[in-house]
Structure 1
C-alpha cells in the first residue's frame, strides 16, 4: 500500500477554522507536504473523521449585514487532496462515533481502516506526522 518514500499524516482534531483563518484548515499544508515528500497518505481519526463525509452544510458565517463565505470546507479539501493523489483513510472507530449513517456518507475514494491497525502501518512509512 505505502511506497517507501511516502509520509503518513494523521489528523485527530476536528477544527473547522475561523474568521481569522479563513484561508486554512487542518488540511491546509497537506498538498505541499505531499508534493515535497514524494507522496502522502492521510488518516482522519476521532472527530476529524467527519472531514471525510459528504454534507449539504455550507460553511458561511453572517456577521451583521455581511456574510463570510470563505471559511474552510474540510470536505472540499479532502476531495482536492484525493484528486492530487493523496490516499485518504478514515478510522472505523471515528466513523462509527459519527452515527450509523456515516459510512453511507463517505466521500467517494475514502478508505475505511480498522482503528487498532494504524500503528502497525507506521514502519511502512518514511515519516509519520500528527497534524
Structure 2
C-alpha cells in the first residue's frame, strides 16, 4: 500500500520536542517498511529551508536543550528513500526559491497535486 502523507501545519510540537511529531512518525513508518511519501504544503514548506538553526532558543530563563533541525530530518528521510514534495506556490508565498531548500526536495505545482494523489492508495493529511 502506497501512502502520501501531507504536512501542512508547521512547527507542531517543536517547542516540546527536538523534531516535528508527524515527520518523526512518517520516518518511523518508513523504517518499519511502509511505502510512504511526504507532501509539504502551506507553512510546512519551511521545513525544507537549508541551514535552519534554532540553537539558542529560550523562553525566559528556560533554554531549549534539543532544538529542532527539520531540514536535517528531511534529508535523513530522503536518504531513507522517502520521496518529499513541496508545493511551489506555497514556497513562493513564504519567499522561498529552489535555491533556499535542501537537495532532493521535488517541487510540485498545485495543479499537479490531483495527479499525485492518484499514485497513492491512501492520502493522510495532518
Is the shorter-chain TM-score for this pair beyond 0.5, marking a shared fold? Answer: yes
Aligned to 1:62: 58
Aligned to 1:87: 83
Question: Do residues 126 (structure 1) and 100 (structure 2) align?
Answer: no
* Cα distance in 1, alignment partners of residues 4 and 14 from structure 2: 26
* Cα distance in 1, alignment partners of residues 115 and 78 from structure 2: 23
Aligned to 1:53: 49
10, 22, 43: which one pairs with 1:14?
A: 10
* Cα distance in 2, alignment partners of residues 16 and 75 from structure 1: 15
Q: Which runs of 4+ in 1 moved over 6 A?
A: none
25, 41, 51: which one pairs with 1:29?
A: 25
SS in 1 for 2:23: coil
Provide the TM-score with structure 1 as the length reference.
0.81
RMSD (Å) for aligned C-alpha atoms: 2.1
SS in 1 for 2:39: strand
Question: Structure 1: any 5+ residue segments left out of the alignment?
Answer: none
| Matched-pair contact (CA < 8 Å) for 1:53–1:102 | no
